Structures are given as C-alpha cells and as structure tokens.
Amino acid sequence: MSVSRGVVFAGVFVVAGASAAFADPQTAAQLRDRALTDPTAYSVLESLTTQIGPRPVGTPAAHRAADWGVAKLKALGFKNVHVEAFAKPSWHRDAESAEVIAPFPQPLAVIGLGESVSTPPDGVEAQIVVLDNLNQMKSAAPDAFKGKIVVMNQPMTRSESGMGYGVAVAARSGESEAAKHGAIAYLTRSISTGTGRAPHTGATNYKDGAPKIPAGALGVPDADLLAHMAARGPVRIHLKLLSHVDPDTQGYTVSGDIVGSAKPDEIIVIGGHLDSWDPGTGAIDDGAGIAITTAAAHLIGALPHHPRRTIRVVMWGSEETEGSGAAYLAAHKDELSKFVLASESDFGSDRIYALTLPKGAFADPELAALPGVLAPIKVMADPRPATNAGSDVEEIQGAGVPVFSLAQDGMRYFDYHHSADDTLAIVDPEQLKQNVAAWAATLYMLANSDIDFRASAAAK
C-alpha cells in the first residue's frame, strides 16, 4: 500500500475507531466496503504464483515460499513474524507416462498420486479392467484383477458446498482395495467436476495389510476413453509412474500478528496453506487462502485503533500431504487457552455465501449486527454451529479451540483443483475481493468483541 492510500484509509476510520470500545458495526461495514476496492489480495496472490510458483513440501520452492511469506507479512505491517520448521519427509515426482498399446494405440494424460510407490523403471504393461464405482471393486472376487491394472471411472457430482468431493474422493484411495484383489497398478478418473484433459493429482491413502501398488490419475476424457475402448474388448496399456522419497526434509509454517489493543494474548488464528501440488502454481489451492486472510488482516491492521484481540495469520506449510496442523498443535500446545477462535480459507477464490460461528455466538448481543453487515455482499448468517474450518485447524479444534467458517461457492473449484490449470488465470479478482470483504468485516467484529466462545458454546 502506498503512503497516500494509507493516509486516506486512516482518515476514513479515525472517527469510528476512536469511539469503538467493542464490536462496532459501522467500522466493520467500512472495512467491508474498503475491501471491495482494495487490490492487496490479488497483489499477494500474483506475487506468490509468479515469484514462487508450485510449492510442494521438500522442494527449494517451498523454502523460497517461507522466505516470501516472512517478507510479505513484514511489508504489510504484521508483527511477531517468524517461521516454524518441522520435520516432514517429502515425496517427489519423476518420469511419468501412459499409453494404450492395443487395440487402439494412443497416449493418455496421466499423473502420479502423491506418495505413490513407483512402477519398475521401465514401467508395467498389462490389460486393464474398467470399473464404474467403488462398490464393484469391493464386491469382486479375491483374484478378480490379478495381474491387471484397475481403472476406476467413478464421476464426481458438482455442488456449491463441495459435498460431491467428499463422496468422490474415496476413489483416490482405492489402490489398496485393488491390490487386495490382485491388481498390479491403479488408475482413477480425476476427482474433478470438469471435462478438461489435465489430470488432477492428490495424495494416496494406502491401507495397512494391503500391498502397495503404483497409483495415478487420468484426465477425465481419458478415463472415459478407456471405458469406451474396454466396451469393445480387451485393452492393454503401458504405465510408468516413477518417484522418490526424501526422508530428511522439513516443512515451514509462517506466522504474523495484528496485535490486539486491549487483550493481545487472546488470539484469533486464521490463514491458508502455503504448500501446493506441483502441476499448477497453487493459485486457488491455496494461494488464494493465503491472500484473502492476509489482506483482510492487513486492512484491520491499517485501522488507527486495532481491535481488542490479536489476529494471527498463519501460512501452514504442509497441508497437501498432511503434517502442518499436527506440528502447529505440538508447537503451541501450552498456549491453546489463548486461542479464542480459529479458521482456514482453503476452498479457492470464488464468492463466500455463508458464515457459521460456534454454537450460540450469533445470539450474543455483541454480534447482533454482524448479519446485517454481511448482507450487502450476499453472505448469509447460517445459524448452524461451525463444525469444520479447514484441514490445518482440525488438530487445534480437536484440542478444544472453537472454530468459525466462511463457506465459499465450490461450483467450479474442482474443475481446476490439483491440476495444471490451478493458476492465476482462473481467479476472478472481484470474487476475491468479496472474500476479503467478508473476512475483514467478520474478523473485526469477532476480534473487537469480548465473547468467550468456549463458554458460549457450552452454555447453549
């Protein structure tokens, strides 16, 4: 932000900020409106995707991303900026390819699933068996797929909430079941709502007691193509999925505070995850979450009077292959009582349509005006208690920290998720600003309140 903008911004808030002792809807509304024209989030996201790019754990880019995060938070006025390193083995993609050998030779769009074991160096060649759903695999005879490559062609349902992902993603963990039935490799239709050919990666989930076989994902049209071929007779493919694991790498979580004015030791923990998969540049997963929460907290930090409580932005360092949430809990287990709320933005950059809070919070007089503040940007106050606020806060939530959630429109998120198309080009700047507006107004009201969210939830 330039000096001239900062001066104007401070002037906008000086009257409301000076008179506000607790949650002030007028200031929250001004923050909301300022966010709708503020370029900070897009600037942060453009910088991350351009200057760093894809950021898998254990890569030089992940290390550069941590340095980038520190520099960015300091430049935007955050305090107590630091890096928390934690041990994290890392999986690295090597050569990959797939092709139909017979009866209709042609290449296939394929990508290895994270943490998959490798094929032999020269790959494997085998007949495929195409299944429409997981139940077909589970009910098959014990040796039904012996020596074959299983192709799971189970589609995903598009939905605003992303519920379809929760159902479809089980197919990405079907490799152990396929192995139990004798398969030598496993390919799933990309967990995607789109029809683009770029395959979508994601982590494997090998089960104890089953052989580990190579696992990958096919582009949606390629999975359908194999189904069409298989309907005509036997199909053989050649598959190469090579990778390696480095057991001695680290993840890096970056943190910075907008320090509270009256109760700095009461902390609202928010953020996104800094790591990403490697095909794209991690724009919506989860550069957008980093940008949204950083920009929202920065706007609040530009107020002449900070809210009562501290707002902490955390850039978690290993969400895609897990680890950063548990590491954060371990590093902060002795100060969990200071965390009054937590939430993560990790569902892209499209518009927010609903806010959920801890049980009973909307009934508190201090937040009575919040639904009205959010209504002009079409964010509903959902009376149902918040139950999930992101993968990286699950561990501290399980340890007793209350959570809140700002629900985003997921109708197109899974067209691009975990694929080469996850780039800045798919981000709508206006929807990104709406996200910042919702976060900024909500955070200000929550941080400037005096509500004990633990007690509120327990009493209702």
Instruction: Give the separation between CA 433 and CA 442, rounded to whole angstroms.
Output: 14
Phi, psi for 209 (deg, rounded to 5) = 90, 0
Q: Give the count of beta carbons closer than 10 Å to the beta carbon of residue 431.
A: 16
Q: Give the tokens for residue 196.
A: 């683009």
Q: Which of 312, 304, 237, 234 is nearest to 7 (CA)?
A: 304
Query: Which residue in the list 84, 175, 319, 320 is annotated as catalytic?
Result: 319
Containing H/E element for 450? none
Strand partners, 83: 254
d(CA 250, CA 85): 6
- Provide the residue count of the chain: 460
What distance in Å separates the CA atoms of residue 94 and residue 71, rounded to the nearest whole number? 32
Contacts of 352 (CB under 8 A, 6+ apart): 377, 379, 406, 407, 408, 409, 434, 435, 438, 439
Q: Is 99 a catalytic residue?
A: no
C-alpha distance from residue 43 to each of 46, 63, 275, 359 (Å) = 5, 21, 18, 35
Burial 357-372 (b: 16+ CB within 10 A, else e): bbbbbbebebbebbee
Placement of tokens 């430049």 in the chain: 75
* Measured torsion, CA atoms of residues 115, 210, 213, 395, in degrees rounded to the nearest 10: -10
Q: Where are the beta strands (DSSP E) in 147-210?
A: 149-152, 185-189
3-state secondary structure of 129: strand
The alpha-carbon radius of gyration of the chain (Å, integer) is 24
Q: Which contiguous run of DSSP H or E holds residue 331? A: helix 324-332
Check: CB of residue 148 under 8 Å from CB of residue 129.
Answer: yes
Q: Which residues are catalytic?
A: 319
